[in-house]
Structure 1
Amino acid sequence: MENYNTAAKFQMHYYFEDKSHSMDAFVRNKCESEILAIITEIAKTLNVKIQIESEVRKEGGLREIWAFTNANAGVLSVIIGIAALVSSRIPVGDSELEDLQKQDLKLSIQERQLRINKLKAEIKDDVITAETVGKVADLVSKDNKIIIRKSNLYKSLDTYRKVSKIGVNGLDLSDKEVSAELIVKRPDFKKFIVKSNVLPVETIEDAVIEIVSPVLKSGNYKWKGIFEGESINFSMTDKSFQLDVLSEKISFQHGSMIKCTLLIHSKIDEVGEVVITGYSVDTVLENMEGHSFVETKQGKSYRNQKALKAAQGDLFAGL
């Protein structure tokens, strides 16, 4: 933004293929919902409570304008500037989407807080720099919820052929533009859309699960257990352990436990929240017999393979 102290409103400008000034109500409402969610997340990052009021729409394609209140002018201007950058910055290649898949989204708490504190200090001293605003925009852009909300926004726009491009920027109290519109054209809409919301599988080694309800017959049935105080249903994919259970080589009693490699499957839902979709036990490393754990054959093999890989890694690290 050119002037971080005068922006009081956020404008989203829809450009149409025809000369009309109307838009499908469901598409418009969906887009409005996603933009407001993005702005709300930015305000949360800055730990600021704001009120957003919708103003009368302007023509010229179709212009949505939201007035921000309930915070000081400097903070509101910064939120508007960050919102414009975040909602219009085209991902470089698939890096933003790859970040989502890798879950490399959260900076350290210390680094996040340092950037936010620097921006707050600048707001207080009335010396806000574009560099700091840009850095906070980078920070916010890597948030799960922001990525998904942008994806939802541009997915709606991409399927609505009437919109040829959109522009976003800040306005002052008299509706004068305080910066040029940041434009996103139709061919770039797809670059914002997350193709898969499935996250990488998280592996927990040496996870201890208390067995509540084992599966004692063939079939794709879920076991039930307790992991870290929580009740979970999980798939037993360790075939050797399954066979031992079915052949009654292994029996269970109250308090029986296994030590295993537990796989946690998850995804990001439509509002950007991480949701666990399932658990599975890949390898049973140890089984409780009496009051002590006994290593299984597959557990011994697993640990030997792991030690071998670690040794190979140490060997090549010195080259």
Structure 2
Amino acid sequence: MSRNSFRENEVSVLETNEKAYLDMCRYILEHGAHKGDRTGTGTLSTFGYQMRFDLSKGFPLLTTKQVPFRLIKSELLWFLKGDTNIRYLLKHNNNIWNEWPFKQWVESDDYTGPDMTNFGLRSQQDDDFHEQYKEQMNRFKERILEDGTFADTYGDLGNVYGKQWRNWESSQGHTIDQIKQVIHDIKTSPDSRRLIVSAWNPEDITPDRAALPPCHILFQFYVVNGKLSCQLYQRSGDVFLGIPFNIASYALLTHLIAEECGLEVGEFIHTIGDAHIYTNHIEQIKTQLSREMRPLPSLKIEKEGKSIFDVEIEDITLDGYDPHPRIKAPVAV
């Protein structure tokens, strides 16, 4: 292959993967509508956006900013275990779900520390408050790890993804393991149009049953020519912080399910309802868009003799991940 041909191929790979995400960012900056939101932060929003990622052409982990793959791995394995308590995540130094159970604790009668009302916004605006917030959050995490009773009370997120994927409660009182079922169906009926896993249970989206109603609510698999593809429908997506995680997480899930079923990987298709950029992420997005894309990494899964449910974090690795530096941004809670 000539140098020019290699370069053309490399550009093609980038254009079919990371460019799809960057194009969405540009579109929302240019055409997004100003909308209020639950957190009080404000967003630029568009409705109904779709991206496609060819998983045979590199693993779609963004290179225009560093995305911590170890957090994506531990979160996905947490989902696949059917776990809903952040204790597992904290044991693996994963803090991405902390804010929601922390909010439940500081709003409870058991909390006796300083006022943490609107801690997400206040910690960005007030340095003294930010120090108080960090101190209370560290105490909260320590108690989750050290006190099983406290973890059971305040560390559990309720009927979120792990519960719905692995232990869906039917109206007849039975439980359904949707992940095991869809693996069985892919193996036995690969042409089925019902290869679906749903996280959206209308009974379980109230605050007393789930800390956060599922954002990625339904995904469907599709088998053709020995390749497994996956399409996700996501009702709501934080474009700067959340969506890069979701892309990589569902790409990883597709790889894992394909391995389990003896298939190659095809595409990951990401369909988003409300795709939004928080107003306090706009400058970060612009910084990211100013950077050049780099070649995507490749994924390695060492699961010989293991089922998808036995895979450990160290069994999943990346080769060739060379991103631009991380870009910090606050989480809207």
Q: TM-score, normalised by structure 2?
A: 0.22
Higher helix share: 2
- Greater share of residues in strand: 1
Q: Which has the larger radius of gyration?
A: 1
